A and B are shown apart, each in its own frame.
Chain A
């Protein structure tokens, strides 16, 4: 009897304790998630829901004496029919295609350099982080001087090589976007580099030692140990860089104002212009919703493709 009772009571007591534990864990988790959720809710989800609502109205930036009206899908139809929107879309895509591989490559290269047995390594690490702590507007002003005509740094370099005349880096349709790409990659690569650096230091040293004993060269070690070891890091970096690239705004707004002939206008700048300069908040909200859907779809697509690999 005693034993029987014992047998019966034990699982019940355990279950209770486990339940208690579960509640406690659940509360702890909630507590941890709470600050982030509040921030996400107020600054991301709520504004997005508001934009969704506004996109169906003809809301103006400054309140006006005639009432705001519902316009159904009118704003969306206008967005999709506006050639300027599609040009901005094309420009943004072009920027992403250029900047993502370029920026990933230089950040990986710098991470590799800084991870090697370099003299003054810590000095180089701090120097490499400089762009990260400099505000974008300041960076843009500095680069504007590099691109200046006829006597900016880049044109002076061309002169050194005997080139007559000058290149209008920011005013020429061919060069404007690549110039923005170069600046942007330089301005934001340290972030990716840091993550690569962390990834590199996660790869066990033993593998390299073993490879060395087997007689592997630098390239082989990179090809067969480093690169596969960075798989998760790569996926993360690719996604984060792409998302970052879609937000291109400050650089073009200050340097080229979207020109020449709209060749550097981006989706975000188009949205800001419509919302601020033309004061059409309803319309700009529709652009924002389309933008979020586009970028969201792309992020999901990237994840699916990289998972299947």
Chain B
């Protein structure tokens, strides 16, 4: 009977193991996100130790493809992160469970309005996706080069460069020693970046990817305003002012052969380490008259309808959306916190902090991407057009093609009811 205590212990351990519940969470796989998610897993498991609830967080590369295959094969985790603008498509397909009931009223009123807009499906008004952060795109500059070229450096949204000033700056920077390309537009990125990063050009000029009332693309994406502004974009490429796709990721913060870069918050850490005190944040230019637009939104937590453990999944998202976790997400990755209370906690975005400009952009000039089930096609068609235009294609025919593709997709899905009503 020497082994009795051990046997008892073993039975006990086994029985708690049988009661223990584990939820699986798929998250995006990025250098800056990885440490955050490790921390989140530990914190959640510690907080729920007594309830026997644990979360297993799995970073998934190409998570978009993994989710799509998951829908088909029925193999999905209890929680996954999806790119905000894809939410409407998944909800329309009947793949997501609503999240409203998992958050308290006070949490919901603390979330940034733009993040709620991104996660709300307009036909039924329910919340289906919740992002811990908001993103923004602005210009980052190398102060040394800008000063050498004698260019005024704007600091607030109001005194942002006009299009003419911006092009003037590019021209001057192209003559500065050490600068191979005045501007990096991150053409080494693919996929969603192209529509996310370049739609503000259109939107600031009164055009858009699709008309958000009639849900028709023809006449909007290929309008005169869109063509005009993309002509400017194409001319920068023709002047060899833009880092080509094969230039790689680190021209701005690595070998410093680029003087300005149009990119989002996620590059904060890399930029800071590379440029140190030479790094300046410059607001989105006024591309048309006095108007400026920046994109927003990002990867969000969601629960697949097929999950058999929605309540625990909901608990996990609620935990990950706590002010503390949201502030930590922001401090680790450099994104704007999705909760007002977390903005105050954040080292980067609090009052007078370095990132204040980005938080201001998110609040004042950000425009949510079209929340419509056709978004995947809208995004791909416009992205293809942008790449071809930068490579020198005819602007009008590229935009006409994109408009046709988008409208055809909507038509072949019978208007994505109830969106056509």
Contact = CB atoms under 8 A, between A and B. Distances in A.
Nearest to A78: B408
A90 interface: no
Interface stretch (B31-39, B89-97, B161-169, B171-179): B89-97
A170 B71 contact: no
A63 B71 contact: yes
B249 to A, nearest CB: 11
| Cβ-closest 3 pairs across A and B | A260-B391, A170-B246, A62-B93
A147 B190 CA distance: 18
Interface stretch (A39-47, A121-129, A244-252, A275-283): A275-283
Interface stretch (B129-137, B199-207, B412-420): B412-420
Contact of A66 (B71, B190, B409, B414): B414
A257 to B, nearest CB: 5
A276 B257 CA distance: 36
A259 B391 contact: yes
Contacts of A63: 71, 93-95
Residue from the set B190, B245, B377, B393 with the largest chain A CB neighbour count within 10 Å: B245
Contacts, number: 76
Contacts of B405: 278
Residue from the set A62, A65, A144, A262 with the largest chain B CB neighbour count within 10 Å: A62
Interface in B62-92: 65, 68, 71-72, 89-90, 92
A169 interface: yes
B392 interface: yes
Contacts of B190: 257
Nearest to B409: A278
Contacts of B65: 276
Interface string A232-264: 000000000000000000000000110111100
Contacts of B248: 144, 148
B64 to A, nearest CB: 9
| Chain A binding surface, main DSSP class | loop
A178 B385 CA distance: 24
Contact of B376 (A65, A147, A148, A277): A277
B245 A171 contact: yes
B387 interface: yes
Contact of A261 (B94, B257, B392): B392
B87 to A, nearest CB: 12
Interface of B: 65, 68, 71-72, 89-90, 92-95, 180, 190, 244-248, 255, 257, 376-377, 380, 387-388, 391-393, 405, 409, 412-414, 417
Nearest to A145: B248
Interface in A66-95: 66
Which bracket fits the contact residues of A? 20 to 34
A66 B417 contact: yes
Interface in A147-174: 147-151, 168-171
B180 A150 contact: yes
Given A63-B93, A64-B93, A257-B387, A168 B413 contact: no
Contacts of A147: 246
A252 to B, nearest CB: 12
Given A149-B244, A168-B244, A261-B391, 12 more contacts: A62-B68, A62-B89, A63-B93, A66-B413, A144-B246, A168-B246, A171-B244, A171-B245, A278-B380, A278-B405, A279-B68, A279-B376
Contacts of A64: 92-94, 413
18 contacts: A58-B412, A61-B72, A62-B90, A63-B94, A64-B93, A150-B180, A171-B391, A256-B245, A257-B190, A257-B245, A259-B388, A261-B393, A262-B388, A276-B65, A277-B376, A278-B376, A278-B377, A279-B68
Nearest to A147: B246
Contact of B94 (A65, A150, A170, A256): A65
A144 B250 CA distance: 14
Contacts of B257: 150
A279 B245 CA distance: 26
Contacts of A58: 412
B186 to A, nearest CB: 13
A248 B93 CA distance: 32
B416 to A, nearest CB: 9
B184 to A, nearest CB: 13
A121 to B, nearest CB: 38
Contacts of A279: 68, 376-377
Nearest to A275: B68
A60 B374 CA distance: 12
B71 A62 contact: yes
Contacts of B255: 151
A171 B245 CA distance: 7
A144 B248 CA distance: 9
A60 B90 CA distance: 12
A68 to B, nearest CB: 11
B372 to A, nearest CB: 14
Interface string A22-58: 0000000000000000000000000000000000001
Residue from the set B90, B94, B246, B248 with the largest chain A CB neighbour count within 10 Å: B246
